Amino acid sequence: MRLPQETIRRKRDGATLEPAEIADFIAGLTDGRVGEGQAAAFAMAVFFQGMSIAERVALTQAMTRSGSVLAWNLSGPVLDKHSTGGIGDAVSLVLAPMVAACGGYVPMISGRGLGHTGGTLDKLASIPGYDATPDLDRFRRVVSEVGCAIIGQTADLAPADRRLYAIRDVTGTVESVDLITASILAKKLAAGLDGLVMDVKVGSGAFMAGIDAARALADSIVAVANGAGLRTVALITDMDAPLASAAGNGLEVAYAVDYLAGRREPRFHAVTLALAAEMLVAGGLAPDLDAAATMLEASLASGRAAETFSRMLAALGGPADLMEHPTRHLPAAPVIREVRAEGKVARVATRAIGLAVIGLGGGRTRPEDGIDGRVGFSELARPGDASGLLGIVHAADAAAADRAEAALRAAYSLGEAAAEGPAVIERIAPKP
């Protein structure tokens, strides 16, 4: 094995790493020969020096090979979607059962919160009894019988990525195109997919604040994934305001329940439908995006998507009646407070809302930190909203509510709002 400090030094100095060097470093990260400090140094070196496409492919493949790679024998295509993360991004919770209700199989391997953004895995942890880290046999069985399962990385799937992911979260190395690409695709390649749709967020609440950076990440993911044999397209979507009107783990689960029950906000619905439609087309379940959207709307209207969601929860140990009785099962915060201000919302500092959720206890500042699933915000206002309600704080105590209220007020600018742009900004397909 090459010395990890030499690999770190070479990348720090701008060298192009050979695939064998990268493979050795990731093998050491997996078996414990590479320490947390060395992994953090490697991540920082990559953050500043970058990687070529060939290096990204090698890093992705090394992390994929660090654990099991699934193979499926199902009656339909195996499909997935991944988001770079944002505020109020509860799309995965509803998209997986929608696609499953239309004939796809969705083995979705999700992550914890990263930086200022919430993670699907943390949202699921707020559901009593839900086993987000089942063994592979149970994972396979649930996907086969229900059509979808949303879980976290198990010890078997891309374990090197799981370790590096936790270190990046607390070392200021989240916003790296190279590391994001490898992290996402290692999990997806390990899941044995037939097709992937990538949701790259752009705006004040995204890791990629500008469109050029978002395009660079979308291009990277599409190029590396398709180069590895996984059919992938990417959509660039807006994150200049929270996508859902809820931010916080249990609150976003409650929002997903409301969505599946028929209470839908336009922009959240538009993004969900666009991503899910791409999945159906990628899997050959619909001839085009319009036909796919029609199928997805029917899965919602008929209740099949909601039923699939309930079956997934029950199969993984959660309450089968969450759809019918969400307040019976989801944790409620002790302090709930409206935050009001007169005037029209002009802009939202969306990242600040995500940081405020962390401040409430709904996110981490260290890898070992616990999460309070009760806290966050609901009824968040969007640009152009003049109702007077900026949002509702859900906090563990009055002091935390005071801090969150101040943060929420500071995140909103009042005045004349420019018209919002499209929720789905751009589509990135493989280059011929």
Q: Is 183 a catalytic residue?
A: yes
Among 23-37, 205-219, 284-298, the least confident range: 205-219
Q: Is 372 a catalytic residue?
A: no
The residue with tokens 């699939």 is 308
- At 118 the pLDDT is 64
pTM score of the predicted model: 0.88
- At 291 the pLDDT is 98
- At 157 the pLDDT is 81
pLDDT reading at 364 higher than 80 = no
Total structural domains within the chain: 3
Is 73 within a domain?
no
Out of 116, 168, 215, 374, pick the active-site residue: 168
Task: Show which of 270, 291, 325 is a domain's final residue.
Answer: 325
Q: By C-alpha distance, which of 247, 185, 172, 239 is closest to 210?
A: 239
How crowded is residue 14: how many other Cβ atoms within 10 Å of its Cβ? 10
Same domain, 242 and 120: yes
Q: Is 75 a catalytic residue?
A: no
Out of 80, 122, 178, 219, pick the active-site residue: 80
Out of 112, 116, 188, 394, pick the active-site residue: 188
Same domain, 135 and 10: no
Out of 7, 83, 92, 154, pick the active-site residue: 83
Q: Is 123 a catalytic residue?
A: no
Among 193-197, 236-240, 377-381, 417-421, the least confident range: 417-421
Is 39 within a domain?
yes
Same domain, 237 and 321: yes
Beta carbons of 282 and 231 less than 8 angstroms apart: yes
CATH number at residue 158: 3.40.1030.10
Task: Show which of 325, 358, 376 is a domain's final residue.
Answer: 325
| Residue 314: exposure state from Cβ atoms within 10 A (0-12, 13-18, ≥19) | middle
Structural domain of residue 375, as residue ranges?
A: 332-414
Is 197 within a domain?
yes
CATH number at residue 40: 1.20.970.10
Q: pLDDT of 204-231, one tens digit each? A: 988 788 999 999 999 999 999 998 889 9
Q: Is 245 a catalytic residue?
A: no
pLDDT reading at 114 higher than 60 = no
Same domain, 274 and 297: yes
Same domain, 154 and 129: yes
Beta carbons of 240 and 205 less than 8 angstroms apart: yes
Is 303 within a domain?
yes
Is 432 within a domain?
no
Q: pLDDT of 37-78, one tens digit each? A: 999 999 999 999 999 999 999 999 999 999 989 999 999 999
Q: Is 299 a catalytic residue?
A: no
Same domain, 307 and 345: no
Kindly report the length of the chain: 432
Same domain, 170 and 100: yes
**Could you give the 3-state DSSP secondary structure of residue 401?**
helix
CATH number at residue 376: 3.90.1170.30
Q: Where does the pLDDT of residue 366 fall: very low under 50, low under 70, confident under 90, or very high at 90 and above? A: low
Same domain, 373 and 300: no
Q: Where does the pLDDT of residue 112 fall: very low under 50, low under 70, confident under 90, or very high at 90 and above? A: low
Please give the Cα distance from 369 to 365 (Å, whole number): 7
Residue 127 has φ and ψ, to the nearest 5°, of: -90, 120
Same domain, 90 and 35: no
Is 110 within a domain?
yes
- At 195 the pLDDT is 96
Task: Show which of 325, 340, 357 is a domain's final residue.
Answer: 325
pLDDT reading at 174 higher than 90 = no
End-to-end CA, the chain: 38
- At 417 the pLDDT is 79
Burial 99-112 (b: 16+ CB within 10 A, else e): bbbbbbbbbbbbbb
Is 64 within a domain?
no
Out of 7, 66, 110, 120, pick the active-site residue: 120
Q: Give Dmax (Cα) for the chain.
A: 63
Residue 289 has φ and ψ, to the nearest 5°, of: -70, -35
pLDDT reading at 385 higher than 60 = yes
Please give the Cα distance from 25 to 4 (Å, whole number): 6
Please give the Cα distance from 405 to 250 (Å, whole number): 19
Q: Is 126 a catalytic residue?
A: no
Q: Is 176 a catalytic residue?
A: no
Is 21 within a domain?
yes
Same domain, 280 and 374: no
Give DSSP secondary structure letters for 146-211.
HSEEEEE--TTS-HHHHHHHHHHHTTT----HHHHHHHHHHHHHHTT-SEEEEEEEESTTSSB-SH
Same domain, 158 and 295: yes
Q: Is 188 a catalytic residue?
A: yes
Same domain, 222 and 355: no
